[in-house]
Amino acid sequence: MTTPPNRFVSELCGVGEGDDGWDALAGEWDELADRVGASPFLRPAWFDLWQRSFGDSTARVLVLRGSGRVAGVLPLRGRGRVVESMANNHTPAFEPLAEDEDASIELARALFALRPRRLTLEYLDAEGTGIRALRAVAARRRYLVVVRDWERPPYIALDRSWRAYEGSLDAKLRRDLARRRRRLDECGAVILEVSDGKTGLARLLKEGFALEPSGWKDARGTAIRSQPETVAFYTGLARWASEHGMLRLSFLRLDGRPLAFQLGLEDRGSYYFVKGGYDAAYTRFAPAKLLVHDLVARAFEQRLTRFEFLGPPERFKLEWTSTCHRLERFQAYAHTPDALVAWAATAYGRPAARAARSLLRRAQQLRAKTEAYMKPPHS
């Protein structure tokens, strides 16, 4: 019985400046994303913006082709045989994008065919086919694997009426919202403004980025405006999302003055809360909380299916929901001395790494002595 030919072929494409691979691949990549219903964070435009803002010359995309079209993509970075996902703390989710389970397995095989000494992929869906394929192929290739919880982004499933959902919220939260809304209404005209950025985008982003620090982000240096690369990334993201009808720039305004802001994306029935902030001078009214309330109500009204908070399960998000996704970090280590030490440190901590390093050093010394003893004498 003969083995049927593999229907997949893989290649590694450069995506840096001067590479033709990125533009040539983008159309087919988007077609794949459309076929599988991928989120905006798995599309080529997201990674193009990410690479321009945060990346370096080591970025590559592993491309899987089958049946005359792109069947899988996996954006990577790294030097030599140390390979990582094209992701950082601005990444909401990351996934090997594949059209079906067979393609997912083949994409994982192509990844391990690169013979990485150490592989790290972060923000992977714990329930996805991608991590299952990675685990299976890593086991066959005899890699040492460490998988850990990485982040638990909260979300609201919009599978009931707004009235039923609002009634399920903690009574203390509902009373607090009503009290703060009443006090803010006494100060003037309060409105919710949601824009797709088709007009006045630069002005709206300037207003939003001024609110986003919320006081404490500036102090920590984590606000969008704190670094030129983050300004470039989120400005580019807003432009791209606006062009494709996904952008939602939302403001809670008092007599026209912006008190709270959200940069969101809306795609395939889901609203994604990407960034937000508020005017610290109006903290007593909790404008950011009031804005969340209004936008969740709007999501129900628009008959969306999910309100995605993204990021870690911070307390203000868990006021609205107890359901979270589970994202994982996948690490695989080859059977090389330095990779084994790194695996021991990751899996068991620094003491284990020191012990592993000591054992490896003794083994190397013993091997050197054995080789010297076995070496024939000079004639």
- Taking only the tens place, the pLDDT of each residue in 252-265 is 999 999 999 999 99
Residue 375 belongs to a domain: no
Mean pLDDT value across residues 138-144: 96
* CB-based contact 110:62 (threshold 8 Å): yes
- Residue among 92, 76, 96 at smallest CA distance from 84: 76
Report the Cα 71 to chain-centroid distance in Å. Answer: 21
270-316 pLDDT per residue, tens: 999 999 999 999 999 999 999 999 999 999 999 999 999 999 999 99
Residue 315 belongs to a domain: no
* CB-based contact 226:210 (threshold 8 Å): no
Residue 161 belongs to a domain: yes
* CB-based contact 77:59 (threshold 8 Å): yes
- Residue among 127, 128, 111 at smallest CA distance from 119: 111
Residue 90 belongs to a domain: yes
Are 146 and 161 part of one and the same domain?
A: no
Domain that holds residue 68: 8-151+328-335
Are 66 and 17 part of one and the same domain?
A: yes
pLDDT of residue 217: 76
Are 26 and 59 part of one and the same domain?
A: yes
Number of domains making up the chain? 2
pLDDT confidence band for 341 (50 / 70 / 90): low
* CB-based contact 29:20 (threshold 8 Å): no
pLDDT confidence band for 195 (50 / 70 / 90): very high
Are 162 and 243 part of one and the same domain?
A: yes
Phi, psi of 357 (to 5 degrees): -65, -40
- The answer, yes or no, to whether residue 3 has pLDDT greater than 50, is no
Residue 313 belongs to a domain: no
* CB-based contact 193:208 (threshold 8 Å): no
Are 36 and 120 part of one and the same domain?
A: yes
- Per DSSP bridges, beta strands 118-125 and 144-151 are unpaired
Residue 233 belongs to a domain: yes
Q: Which residues contact 16 (CB under 8 A, 6 or more apart)?
A: 51, 55, 57, 59
The C-alpha atoms of residue 130 and residue 265 are separated, in whole angstroms, by 24
Q: What mean pLDDT is reported for the chain?
A: 89
Are 37 and 126 part of one and the same domain?
A: yes
CA distances from 4 to 8, 65, 153, 281, 295 (A): 12, 17, 42, 68, 53
pLDDT of residue 359: 42
58-101 pLDDT per residue, tens: 999 999 999 889 999 999 999 889 999 999 999 999 999 999 99
Are 125 and 176 part of one and the same domain?
A: no
Are 276 and 186 part of one and the same domain?
A: yes
CATH of the domain at 256: 3.40.630.30
Buried b (16+ CB within 10 A) or exposed e, 118-149: bbbbbbbeeebbbbebbbebbeebebbebbee
Are 120 and 164 part of one and the same domain?
A: no
CA distances from 232 to 75, 209, 221, 228, 268 (A): 20, 12, 16, 6, 26
Quick check: pTM over 0.85?
yes
Q: Which residues contact 36 (CB under 8 A, 6 or more apart)?
A: 97, 98, 99
pLDDT confidence band for 376 (50 / 70 / 90): low
pLDDT of residue 368: 44
Are 123 and 252 part of one and the same domain?
A: no
Are 133 and 166 part of one and the same domain?
A: no
Residue 355 belongs to a domain: no
Are 231 and 265 part of one and the same domain?
A: yes
pLDDT confidence band for 374 (50 / 70 / 90): very low
- The answer, yes or no, to whether residue 333 has pLDDT greater than 90, is yes
Residue 378 belongs to a domain: no
Q: Which of 300, 320, 335 is a domain's end point?
A: 335
